[in-house]
């Protein structure tokens, strides 16, 4: 199984909104990202759903700049759910 396939599987969360948010980054930015940003994305996949949702919604701010960069990308590029 390729790294992208493993990450795609890990992007599956308990909420459709989180699935879409994480897949937005994986599909559009991950491959071109710097190694530090890739590691930040992988660490976000270890977060529990409430904390991850809070980061994406903006109610929680991460203390880590690379994580904030990934979150900013997700917020700027997330499409509304139909």
- pTM exceeding the 0.85 threshold for the entire prediction: yes
Task: Please tell me what DSSP assigns to residue 79.
Answer: P
- Which of the four pLDDT bands, split at 50, 70 and 90, describes residue 81? low
Q: Indicate whether 82 belongs to any domain.
A: no
Q: Which two tokens stand for residue 45?
A: 């996949």
pLDDT tens digits, 12-44: 988 899 999 999 999 999 999 999 999 999 999
**22, exposed or middle or buried, with CB in 10 Å at 0-12, 13-18, 19+?**
buried
Q: Provide the residue range defining the domain that includes 21.
A: 3-77
> Residue holding tokens 């660490």?
43
Task: Output the domain CATH number for residue 50.
Answer: 1.10.150.250
Q: Indicate whether 48 belongs to any domain.
A: yes
């Amino acid at each position: 199984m390729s790294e992208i396939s493993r990450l795609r599987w890990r992007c599956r969360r308990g909420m459709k909104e989180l699935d879409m948010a994480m897949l937005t980054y994986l599909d559009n930015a991950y491959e071109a990202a710097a190694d530090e940003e890739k590691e930040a994305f992988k660490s976000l996949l270890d977060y529990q759903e409430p904390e991850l949702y809070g980061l994406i919604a903006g109610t929680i701010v991460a203390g880590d700049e690379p994580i904030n960069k990934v979150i900013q990308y997700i917020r700027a590029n997330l499409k509304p759910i139909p």
